[in-house]
Amino acid sequence: NALPSTVVTSPESSTENEGASAPPVGIIMGSDSDLPVMALAAEVLESFGVPYELSVVSAHRTPERMVSYAQNAHKRGVKVIIAGAGGAAHLPGMVASLTPLPVIGVPVKGSHTDGLDSLLSIVQMPRGIPVATVAIQNATNAGLLAVRMLGVENAGLVEKMNEYQNKLKDMVLEKAERLET
């Protein structure tokens, strides 16, 4: 599971380091076992040149760390949080309840279940506390959604997203053409 070279890891102390200039995207996950999935979001951000930090923050095993991370992220300069978890996947929703930032939830498949449990745990939020939930294991879309959110204030990212979508379209059309000839 080699990670992209510009990964910025967030040490424990940085969760409370108010005033520091954090990268715009915080990728957090309930366990290091979620990393193979969550690395997909990191890869997307890397390809768009968006800096990020990567951290294990467990709602159940390190609840105080989760509270500290969520309450301080916006003060440190984080703009969007991507939170992945599996099973009783409380992390994205709890973090959303503690931060004013947009939270994108990634349901991670468990070793004994198909991930539907994680999906429902993350998507079924009560009115008032939204989590933008992507499909099971689809951290790629979480990364893309974060880029689109940051594009609200960054015309360069909007341009890159246009290019990305055009490339996607070309790829599909090439495949369709190969099939049809």
- Long-range CB contacts (< 8 A, 24+ apart) of 41-44? 41/82, 41/84, 41/106, 41/139, 41/140, 41/142, 41/143, 41/146, 42/3, 42/4, 42/7, 42/143, 43/4, 43/140, 43/143, 44/140, 44/143, 44/144, 44/146, 44/147
The region of 15-23, 24-32, 71-79, 168-176 touching ligand RP5 under the rule CB under 6 A is: 24-32
- Are 101 and 73 in contact, with CB atoms under 8 Å apart? yes
Binding-residue total with ligand RP5 (CB under 6 A): 10
Give whichever of 111 and 181 is closer to ligand RP5, judged by the CB atom. Answer: 111
Judged by CB under 6 A, the residue of 10, 26, 34, 119 near ligand RP5 is: 34
Of residues 38-97, those binding ligand RP5 (CB under 6 A)? 58, 85-87
23 near ligand RP5, judged by CB under 6 A: no
* Options 3-11, 31-39, 66-74, 135-143: segment touching ligand RP5 (CB under 6 A): 31-39
> How many CB atoms are closer than 10 A to CB 89?
28
CA distance 56 to 12: 10
Q: How far is the CB of 8 from ligand RP5 (least distance, A)?
A: 21
Closer CB to ligand RP5, 66 or 150, in the complex: 66
**Residues near ligand RP5 (CB under 6 A):** 29-31, 33-34, 58, 85-87, 108
